[in-house]
Structure 1
Amino acid sequence: MDWDELDLNPKVIAAVKKAKIKSAKDILNFSGLELQRLTQLSNIDVQHLIVAVSATLQKPSVLTVLQMYREKELFAAQHQRLSLGCPVLDRLLKGGLPLVGITELGGESAAGKTQISIQLCLSVQYPYKQGGLEAGAVYICTEDIFPNKRLQQLIDLQHKLRTDVSQDVIKKINFGDNIFIEHAADIDTLNNCIAKRVPILLLRGLVRLIVIDSIAALFRCEFAAKDSVAKAKHLQTLAAQLHSLSSRFMTPVFCINQVTDAVGDQAIGQTHVGVLDKKVAPALGITWSNQLLMRLMVTRTRSNEQEACAGEGLASCSQVVRTLEVVFAPHLPQTFCYYTIGLEGVRGVQDKLQMC
């Protein structure tokens, strides 16, 4: 550090140089008494030194979103996304998942939620140029056991799914070694995993993606309708921990959620009418919804709509056509696209996005 650039008395600068202190970090690592002993300066002079050094490291306190958008090259992390491993799905999400925040994927059983989650666990391991984060993923199961057989099948067929990546790059990635699987059978185990085990993996740089499959299962089992207040507090605490980890380590949090049929006044304000006009409400209510950055929904199409899609060349009749829909996000419109699930993974099947 160039001490002469600091707005300090020359005798203070001379004392710092004589003490052979080389950087601002050294100044801030020493206590006031230690600096007095090293520099032979008075307490007042040492305090002026600390304030001057701190001022050089202080970042601007106010930064607008417009500034960040216009200066993308200076704020690369804020514009970076985690690819879903498919150009059509990435186009729907304008690049993929944001690195900071909680993304929810809701939908009925067999809609493809776990398939998308596993594909993300593989995609995160790719180089930055291919939409990955060059790290692994932690997958927390709260319901069923982790589908190891399906994971291995996807790993073996990565060369067919990711045709945009050279074979040499794919062969160098040990996909199976970089997915850390946790099973949480109750809320206490889940909280312990999020608070203690996951941070260790993040600190060591081993993972850059957190998946919870599913977020609703434990809360539905352990809380009755009369326990809504306690349930809300636990949800807020868990979400705060997830937000903290996501922000600190620039790590996407991807939570699978279940849905319920909305009947009468059920889930007022939470009812979602999807592209198939089927009224469903994501589980956990508005308390959980308020913690989300982005909500996505997946749906299996009805048979007549599947035939129509096949007629348009979107998919063969032997494949089940599904939809991935953006319900809300601060940076995306309400849109959806079709996709299918094959042996090699999840693929979008329509280049033109549809407005809801």
Structure 2
Amino acid sequence: MDWTELDVHPRIISAVHKANIKSAKDLFTSSIGDLQKVTQLSIPDIYDLQKAASAALQKHSALTALQLYKEKTRFPSQHQKLGLGCGVLNNLLRGGLPLVGITELAGESSAGKTQIALQLCLSVQYPETKGGLGVGAVYICTEDAFPDKRLQQMIKSQHRLRTDVPADVVRKIRFGDHVFIEHAADIDMFTECITKKLPILLLRGQVRLIVIDSIAALFRCEFAAKDAVIKAKHLQTIGAKLHQLSRDFTTPVFCINQVTDAMKEGDSVLNHIGFQDRKVLPALGISWSNQLLMRLMVARTQREAPPPFIDCVLRTMEVIFAPHIPQATCYYTVDLEGVKGIGIQGL
């Protein structure tokens, strides 16, 4: 709280600064006697201070959900989304990824998870009017080497994929210079990355997207079944730090997750999380699920995509849960240019 804004004698403000009282919470949760000891002020002075602080706080009245929804110009971060570089996928997600929170993309191998992550790293560099944020991305690899060749392939095809963007705008963006790559082979390296390295890039304004590929790889070999409590604590700590970075810098966090075989039908745990009919489930369990804002699942089908997509396998993307959009599914495919959603009418 800015004490200089309060309508009280400067002598009282000076005493508050000397006592190192930093917030209104400290002022109102401490007893009168404790405040007297640390500030050396009289009881009437303390009453005047609390009264002035209360009046200042009342000026900042609470906002309703309806105000946040209607007054989009005042609260852009509540409504702005990071597009996926595809109109169909953006429609599925009601515009794209929320700018604050952790979005998980889970699926089996070859479902197209990394392809979507790479496309997001390019999409974030477009202007805000074209679904981007005008800055770069951090791509944290935890197991495989970064797919640089595929990224370069997608960069060269941007003018064909993003036909909604003027060609001169696409040419001006130096996509390869704004994807920062970090390798983290274990939890200690990953923790150092998100606590020391990432904040520097975010503070400089160089990035506004964090991609983790994949979160499950960090825990797959380090913890046995008996270490479930320790594992849960690590997941909560990592989740809290990622949430802090996302909130402080209005930066979406996109985590790729692996899947595990589903338990047998009828299991009580399975019924509680609503995946009774699935063969696979996202890894890391309920401790990690509680950290997520949105969970998406992708899968590779046995069908070929319809024309004009030639020799492309059909894939599905499903919204499992999110507070702002309903459960829904759409089809997509991956070709040389990138990830492309397919409308229902195309099937």
Which TM-score band (shorter chain)?
Answer: 0.7 to 0.9
Shift of 1:56: 5.7
- Are the structure 2 counterparts of residues 250 and 51 from structure 1 closer, same or farther at C-alpha, using a change threshold of 3 Å? farther
Structural mapping, 1:254-293, within 5 Å: 254-264=254-264, 265=267, 268=270, 269-270=272-273, 272=275, 278-293=278-293
Aligned residue number for residue 40 of structure 1: none
Evaluate the alpha carbon distance shift between residue 59 and residue 234 of structure 1 in structure 2; reply closer, same or farther with a 3 A threshold: farther
User: What secondary structure sits across from 2:245 in the alignment?
Assistant: helix
> How far, CA to CA, are the matches of 1:326 and 1:335 in structure 2?
5
Aligned 8 A contact 2:232 2:287 in 1: yes
CA distance in 1 between partners of 2:312 and 2:279 (Å): 24
Residue aligning to 1:349 = 342
- For 1:301, what is the secondary structure of its paired residue? strand
CA distance 1:212–1:256, shift in 2 (3 Å): same
Q: Report the equivalent of 1:339.
A: 332
Amino acid at match of 1:118: L
Preserved contact between residue 130 and residue 165 of structure 2 (Cα < 8 Å):
yes
Distance 1:153 1:279 in 2: 33
- Residue 167 of structure 1, CA deviation: 1.2
Q: CA deviation at 1:146?
A: 0.2
Q: What is the rounded CA distance, in whole Å, between the counterparts of 1:353 and 1:57 in structure 2?
A: 56
Structure 2 residue 318 is the aligned partner of structure 1 residue 325: yes
Moved more, 116-125 or 257-266: 257-266
SS in 2 for 1:85: coil
Deviation of the 1:271 alpha carbon = 6.1
What does residue 225 of structure 2 align with? 225
Letter in structure 2 aligned against 1:161: L
Deviations 1:145-178 (CA, angstroms, capped at 9, x unpaired):
0000000011111001111111111111111111
What's the CA shift string for 1:184-238, capped at 9, x where partnerless? 0110000110111001100000100000000001111100111000000000000
Which consecutive unaligned segments of at least 5 residues does structure 1 have? 1-5, 14-26, 34-42
1:231-289 Cα distance to aligned partner (Å, 9 max, x none): 0000000000000000000000000000111132496344636xxx6421110001100
SS at match of 2:62: coil
Q: Aligned letter for 2:208?
A: R
- Distance in 1 between the 2:51 and 2:171 partners? 52
Whole-Å Cα distance in 2 between the matches of residues 319 and 108 of structure 1?
18
Distance verdict in 2 for CA 1:108–1:52, change over 3 Å? same
Q: Whole-Å Cα distance in 2 between the matches of residues 74 and 352 of structure 1?
A: 38
What is the deviation of 1:317? 5.7
* Distance of 2:128 and 2:311 partners within structure 1: 35
Q: Which runs of 4+ in 1 moved over 4 A?
A: 6-9, 30-33, 43-59, 351-354
**Separation of aligned partners in 2, 1:136 and 1:60:** 34
**Between 230-239 and 72-81, the greater mean CA deviation after superposition:** 72-81
* 8 Å CA contact retained: 1:140, 1:184: yes
Q: Give the RMSD, CA atoms, in angstroms.
A: 3.0
Distance 1:81 1:283 in 2: 26
Match of 2:141 in 1: 141
Alignment of 1:93-242 (within 5 A): 93-242=93-242
The superposition leaves residues 7-27 of structure 1 with CA deviations (integer Å, 9 ceiling, x where unpaired) of 958xx79xxxxxxxxxxxxx9
Residue in structure 2 matched with residue 23 of structure 1 by the alignment: none
Pair 339,50 (structure 1): closer, same or farther in 2 beyond 3 Å: same
Query: With structure 1 as the length reference, what TM-score do the two structures score?
Result: 0.80
SS of corresponding position for 2:228? helix
Distance of aligned partners of 1:137 and 1:297 in 2 relative to their CA distance in 1, 3 Å threshold: same
For residues 285-334 of structure 1, give each alpha carbon's deviation from its aligned partner in whole angstroms, at most 9, with x where no partner exists: 011001100000000113xxx25x63xx5x64611000011000001111
**Bigger shift: residues 257-266 or 293-302:** 257-266
